[in-house]
Amino acid sequence: MKSNKEVTIYDIAASLGLSPSTVSRALKNNPGVKKETKKIINEAAQKMGYRHNKFASNLRLKRTHTLGVIVPKLNSYFMATAITGIESAASRFGYNLIITNSLESTKKEAEGVNTLYNSRVDGLIVSLAYDTDNIKHFDIVFKKDIPVIFFDRVIENKGCAKVIIDNFKAGYEIVNHLISQGCRKIMHVGGNLLRNVYKDRLLGYRKALEENGIAYDESLVIINDLSDKSGVEIAKKILRMKEPPDAVFTANDTTAVSIILHLKKAGLSIPKDIAVAGFNNEPISRVIEPNLTTVHYPAFEVGEIAATTLINMLDSNRNAYLSSIILKHELIIRESTLKNTMQEQGPGIETISKELKSI
Amino acid sequence: MKSNKEVTIYDIAASLGLSPSTVSRALKNNPGVKKETKKIINEAAQKMGYRHNKFASNLRLKRTHTLGVIVPKLNSYFMATAITGIESAASRFGYNLIITNSLESTKKEAEGVNTLYNSRVDGLIVSLAYDTDNIKHFDIVFKKDIPVIFFDRVIENKGCAKVIIDNFKAGYEIVNHLISQGCRKIMHVGGNLLRNVYKDRLLGYRKALEENGIAYDESLVIINDLSDKSGVEIAKKILRMKEPPDAVFTANDTTAVSIILHLKKAGLSIPKDIAVAGFNNEPISRVIEPNLTTVHYPAFEVGEIAATTLINMLDSNRNAYLSSIILKHELIIRESTLKNTMQEQGPGIETISKELKSI
DNA sequence: CTGAAAGCGCTAACAA
DNA sequence: TTGTTAGCGCTTTCAG
């Protein structure tokens, strides 16, 4: 019994001797309809195989209940987890998601903005591409007052809300920890300084050095794409150095792991010869030996809160004065940086503190 | 200069002294419009900030150029990569994606079907939840002739296309390899046998044993949820066994890695005491020490081909006789199973063969 | 090559 | 509490 004819509100109305508007109201559970009538209508709708037509509805209401998402990649643990969080919140509130992938390219990012704009998404959730240096390509949505929320990789911008962690503090803490382990010559591997996440981590690094009377040495700071491959190159570079560092703080886990693997292959011992710390607390950080010291980034929560916040703005029209939501990170100390106490990893080492601090 | 008023075809028509139909045709590059007129119209549209209204268009055309995706999780490397592939193909052909997450639950999967159905997606791309044992909840889309393509976790079904690899052969090959390394008592850790991927890998395992004159021992086959945690339990179980296996073939990498970590912690040597092989070739497999023997699953390609195939069906209306598309996998041999030749891993060990075999 | 006009299915102001 | 009616913006037949 296949039928390609769609059942409409009119069909239901006709079959019940009612008017389309009553049917429409009943279907939306509008209080101004008798309970009995509602029941009859809903049953008829069910039986006749009615389904709500979003297009007609959207066309009338000029709302789509759809959120657009633009991310620089999909297949990293962090992003996939953040999207899981976004999806979770969105589906809880009856919103759909359209996801586009900028593949770290500003051009594709701009295309994404256009696509989503044309799909009439109600709002946008964005993490910026690696080297996007301005957000002119978002003007089209700003002009139409479509709210945009940035997460993780954000940009200073008049009045766009952002969901982030305190990258400065996290960088500061991790370097302080390294120093507490006796490290004095600490290399930093980061990403494009246009991106807050990398800039702030670097600033935290500098601050920690400064506070501990260690001179900042530019030659110890390497900026690259934080890929696997870059990790190999950095390891090679370290091996060539006359006076290699006694620690490396890398702005992500993938590269840190890659560095460890290659230093080990060359016969170095981690953390004895060089301590290594990463960032993000990806699963890989618990597999590498020694286990990687890192910063837990609450990816799921970041996504969930970004979506929830956006939906709140949409549903209440008070998108006014929200600026930043900062989630707590946690420093996770594991063997890869424990120079002093080379104990077994055990419970108690990993500190836990999850709370939401919003400003 | 913010304006919330949308420019419509009528506005353009009015401002140019033309009719809406001509404008509509010009905007779609319909051949029956003078080139000159087209140019004028397109320029005006540009200048006036016109954007195509999908809802009105969808309402008329009853097509949405949107694909629905249902996956059992988002935050695994495999799924995230497959989705990247889907997104890549979709965006190439001008299709949008709506993604829903079943979280391995049949109930949520059914909700996803409904949501996507109501969003009027043109087609569905699905990988089934862990214990979905029938697809009645898809009837609603089947009835409307909305095409569905399954990938990875598929189900035998009259006429739904599927994109998979030959899991039977892959399981067979990996166990054969273990046997070639001298293993005789091989444990298998798999997932729910409702799912083709796990059933076929198990069958491949059995076939390899049989061909090598090794009796099938049911007590060596463990079915569980293939989580990290299960890995720990399996490791414990192995440690308790009087006669532990000399090899373990696990149906995913995560669990295999977890097993290795815990066996090592207990003082066992991999692969000397026990060889371990996984499945999927996730990045983690190159981090664990020893590096994990596994099967490369072309996740990106699977997603891309699933989407391309679906779009082809949609755009040509010939969804008729396609049944299965089988992609090549590759056995990737690394140290975790090399009992004989304990050589360093080097180039040449990893075999490469990527080609598309479609049936 | 261009125009007139109907209608896709829903919603909400207004009327009853 | 229910009904009437006028669009939302686009596409397409049919007519010119």
Q: What is the pLDDT of residue B339?
A: 86
Quick check: B355 pLDDT over 50? no
Amino acid letter, A283: P
Bases of chain D with protein Cβ within 7 A? 1-13
Q: What is the pLDDT of residue B4?
A: 54
Section B48-63 average pLDDT: 86
- According to DSSP, the β-strands at A186-190 and B275-277 are unpaired
Q: Is strand D less than 7 A from the beta carbon of B15?
A: no
Q: What is the pLDDT of residue B349?
A: 37
Protein chain B, residues 37-76, with a C-beta closer than 7 Å to any atom of nucleic acid strand C: 37, 56, 59-60
Chain B residues touching A58 at Cβ < 8 A:
55
Section B101-115 average pLDDT: 92
Q: In this complex, which of A55, A73, A283 lies closest to B58 when CB atoms are compared?
A: A55
Q: In this complex, which of A2, A91, A287 lies closest to B287 when CB atoms are compared?
A: A287
Q: How far apart are CA A72 and CA A99, in angstroms?
A: 11
> How many beta-carbon pairs below 8 A join chains A and B?
123
Chain A residues touching B288 at Cβ < 8 A:
287
Higher pLDDT, A145 or A186: A186
Q: How far apart are CA A102 and CA A104, in angstroms?
A: 5
* DSSP letter, residue B51: -
Q: What is the pLDDT of residue A244?
A: 96
Section A67-88 average pLDDT: 94
Q: What are phi and psi of A158, to 5 degrees?
A: -45, 100
Give me chain A's average pLDDT, please. 89
Protein chain B, residues 1-30, with a C-beta closer than 7 Å to any atom of nucleic acid strand C: 17-22, 25
Quick check: A332 pLDDT over 90? yes
**Beta-carbon separation of A99 and B118 below 8 A:** no
Number of Cβ atoms within 10 Å of the Cβ of A334? 21
Give me chain B's average pLDDT, please. 89
Percent of chain B with pLDDT over 90: 64
Quick check: A343 pLDDT over 50? no
- Tens of pLDDT, residue by residue over B11-53, are 999 888 988 899 999 988 888 888 888 999 988 898 888 888 8
Quick check: A321 pLDDT over 80? no
Section B238-253 average pLDDT: 96
Amino acid letter, B37: T
Which CATH class, in words, describes the domain spanning B167-298+331-358?
alpha beta
Determine whether domain B64-165+299-328 maps to CATH 3.40.50.2300. yes
Residue B79 contacts A where some CB pair is shorter than 8 Å? yes
pLDDT band, residue B280 (cuts 50/70/90): very high
For B:3-42, CB contacts with A below 8 A are 3-4
Q: How far apart are CA B144 and CA B89, in angstroms?
A: 24
- Token pair 């507490």: residue: A180
Q: In this complex, which of A101, A117, A287 lies closest to B51 when CB atoms are compared?
A: A117
Q: Which residues pair with A164 in a beta bridge?
A: A326
- Tens of pLDDT, residue by residue over A222-263, are 999 999 999 999 999 999 999 999 999 999 999 999 999 999
User: D11 C1' – B19 CA distance, angstroms?
Assistant: 13
Q: What is the pLDDT of residue A4?
A: 54
Report CA-CA distances (Å) from A64 to A59, A111, A255, B298: 9, 20, 40, 35
Please tell me which residue lies nearest to nucleotide C2, judged from CA to C1': B22
Quick check: A165 pLDDT over 90? yes
Q: Are A195 and A151 in contact (CB under 8 A)?
A: no
Please tell me which residue lies nearest to nucleotide C4, judged from CA to C1': B19
User: C11 C1' – A96 CA distance, angstroms?
Assistant: 21
Q: What is the pLDDT of residue B143?
A: 83
- Tens of pLDDT, residue by residue over A259-292, are 999 999 999 999 999 999 999 999 999 999 999 9
Domain with CATH 3.40.50.2300 in chain B: 64-165+299-328, 167-298+331-358
- Tens of pLDDT, residue by residue over B287-345, are 999 999 999 999 999 999 999 999 888 877 665 567 789 999 999 999 999 987 644 44
- According to DSSP, the β-strands at B294-296 and A148-151 are unpaired
**Beta-carbon separation of B284 and A289 below 8 A:** no
Chain A residues touching B76 at Cβ < 8 A:
80
* DSSP letter, residue B219: G
Q: Is strand D less than 7 A from the beta carbon of A60?
A: yes
Scanning every strand, the nucleotide with its C1' closest to A19's CA turns out to be D3
- Tens of pLDDT, residue by residue over B123-157, are 999 999 998 999 999 998 888 888 999 999 999 77
Instruction: Please give, one letter per residue, the 3-state secondary structure of chain A.
Output: CCCCCCCCHHHHHHHHCCCHHHHHHHHCCCCCCCHHHHHHHHHHHHHHCCCCCHHHHHHHHCCCCEEEEEECCCCCHHHHHHHHHHHHHHHHCCCEEEEEECCCCHHHHHHHHHHHHHCCCCEEEECCCCCCCCCHHHHHHHHCCCCEEEECCCCCCCCCEEEEECHHHHHHHHHHHHHHCCCCCEEEEECCCCCHHHHHHHHHHHHHHHHCCCCCCHHHEEECCCCHHHHHHHHHHHHHCCCCCCEEEECCHHHHHHHHHHHHHCCCCCCCCCEEECCECCHHHHCCCCCCEEEECCHHHHHHHHHHHHHHHHHHCCCCCCCEEEECCEEECCHHHCCCCCCCCCCCCECCCCCEEEC
Segment among A136-145, A199-208, A241-250, B64-73 with least mean pLDDT: A136-145
Report CA-CA distances (Å) from A226 to A197, A338, B286, B340: 13, 24, 17, 37
Q: What are phi and psi of B33, to 5 degrees?
A: -130, 135
Q: What is the pLDDT of residue B65?
A: 85
User: D9 C1' – B53 CA distance, angstroms?
Assistant: 7
pTM above 0.75, yes or no: yes
Which CATH class, in words, describes the domain spanning A9-52?
mainly alpha
Task: Give the mutation candidate from B108, B258, B284 for the A interface (greatest A CB count, under 10 A).
Answer: B284
Q: What is the pLDDT of residue B350?
A: 39
CA nearest A161: which of A195, A124, A190?
Answer: A124
Chain A residues touching B53 at Cβ < 8 A:
59, 120
Domain with CATH 1.10.260.40 in chain A: 9-52
Quick check: B163 pLDDT over 50? yes
Tokens of A25: 């109201």
Q: What are phi and psi of B325, to 5 degrees?
A: -120, 125
Q: What is the pLDDT of residue A354?
A: 33
**Beta-carbon separation of B118 and A54 below 8 A:** yes
Bases of chain C with protein Cβ within 7 A? 1-13
Quick check: B108 pLDDT over 70? yes
Q: How far apart are CA B170 and CA B163, in angstroms?
A: 15
- By C-alpha distance, the chain A residue nearest B259 is A287
Amino acid letter, A300: F
